A = this chain, B = another copy of it.
């Protein structure tokens, strides 16, 4: 039945509007723009058609299959549509899922709102139809060309990242940040759950955990009334793929706003980072770190161990990055004598090599070729599982030249190094963007801050360790 949420055979929209400024108009635009391959019909009191989509005065009269009904109606229209849902299901048997976008239900904190939500949910239950929302943005499935939202509007080629969210606009924000990356990342599936009158985060988590096209799951939470089923589902999903979680509503004002947002009240059981980790989830704290961590899991190979080497041509940047990584529990490698000797020969006399362990400050006086060779030497070291490279451009080591040298040297290296992840951090705002694009076009991922790498790497190392423990347990 949840399958119908992502690949419905036939859709009807109630509450569509002719006015471009109305959400009920944009829903149609998005459905059409996504290129949904099935048939779409409208339920509208008097229109013949809107944007070329045929309209019918009553849901029962829609002649085509309606597996998904999208409601863009105000909450006050609930009783009428609730009856229509039951009638349609009885008459045609096709309806499987209702997606209710409008607000004004339980989150309004009014008796009327609560009553309307219960009325809608009861009708769906009676009809044996699942309900997403109300007060949600709906669902997007890029592979199945489905977009029931009024907010997102455009989609890139889908990655392996799928999102579950208690906030629709948070999904919009994350989507846009993913598309603004130097190598734009298009999301695979995402579901905004809204007030969760029926379909829950836990059920959807179970679905995404089993979904083969979802390789990484992102979860945005605000307040969860009963977190246990979600945590159990997330634990099941985490056996198969990384589940990265961002939780808001951590402060009293944030928690209050979360209640007014989706009507959800936080349980006494706190959903904090420690609890998340106990269930195998990977918590992050900020939206930029959420995006970087999801994209990293999607694009970089998992390290085989936790020994990280850091190379910098910026002394200050290096100190700052070490702090950032160490504060997140990232541990440094011990360089082999061979690597140390190679670097000693390669780098200027004032370069700091292996002090502290695993840290190399080439000094700012190096050129692009030396920089690339130093990266290669670190990747080749059998005692190094991942390499972080801090880079600040200088007049004699421009970001583009360095990027070209890196691309020239690394294809061979990466094969020999069991595809260790490399995290190039190019410092310097827009000036380094062309070089970042060059590297990304060459198949490498790049970063703009040590914090992004710190969050992504900490999550990745934690996940890699968990996978190893799982593998060891299997080998016993």
Contact = CB atoms under 8 A, between A and B. Distances in A.
Contacts of A288: 449
Nearest to A260: B352
Given A350-B108, A396-B22, A251 B165 contact: no
A356 interface: yes
Nearest to A429: B180
Contact of A253 (B104, B172, B315, B359): B359
A425 to B, nearest CB: 10
A20 interface: yes
A241 to B, nearest CB: 23
Interface string A336-361: 00000000000001101001100101
Contact of A251 (B153, B326, B428): B326
Interface stretch (A362-370, A434-442, A460-468): A362-370
A371 interface: no
A419 to B, nearest CB: 26
Contact of A323 (B20, B249, B322, B451): B249
Contacts of A170: 314-317, 320
Contact of A257 (B29, B350, B361): B361
A103 interface: yes
Interface in A143-184: 150-151, 153, 165-173, 176-177, 179-180
A323 B430 CA distance: 29
A294 to B, nearest CB: 14
Q: Bin the interface of chain A by size.
A: 35 or more
A303 interface: no
A326 B253 contact: yes
Contacts of A359: 253, 257
Interface string A318-342: 1110110011000010000000000
A249 to B, nearest CB: 6
Contacts of A103: 350, 363
B319 A261 contact: yes
Contact of A21 (B150, B315, B367): B367
A222 interface: yes
Contacts of A250: 323, 327
Contacts of A150: 394-395
A322 B253 contact: yes
A176 B435 CA distance: 15
Interface in A50-68: none
A286 interface: yes
A392 B317 contact: no
Nearest to A327: B251
Given A222-B319, A256-B355, 10 more contacts: A26-B394, A104-B349, A150-B394, A151-B392, A151-B394, A180-B428, A248-B316, A248-B320, A250-B323, A258-B319
Interface of A: 20-23, 26, 29, 103-104, 107-108, 150-151, 153, 165-173, 176-177, 179-180, 220, 222, 248-254, 256-258, 260-262, 286-288, 313-320, 322-323, 326-327, 332, 349-350, 352, 355-356, 359, 361, 363-365, 367, 392, 394-396, 427-432, 449, 451
30 contacts: A20-B395, A23-B364, A23-B396, A26-B394, A103-B350, A103-B363, A150-B394, A151-B392, A151-B394, A167-B316, A168-B316, A169-B313, A169-B315, A169-B392, A172-B392, A173-B314, A173-B317, A176-B428, A177-B428, A220-B316, A248-B323, A250-B323, A257-B315, A257-B318, A257-B352, A261-B315, A261-B318, A287-B320, A287-B449, A288-B449
Q: Which 10 A-B pairs have the closest CB atoms?
A: A167-B316, A180-B429, A170-B316, A169-B314, A254-B323, A176-B428, A251-B326, A261-B315, A103-B350, A21-B396
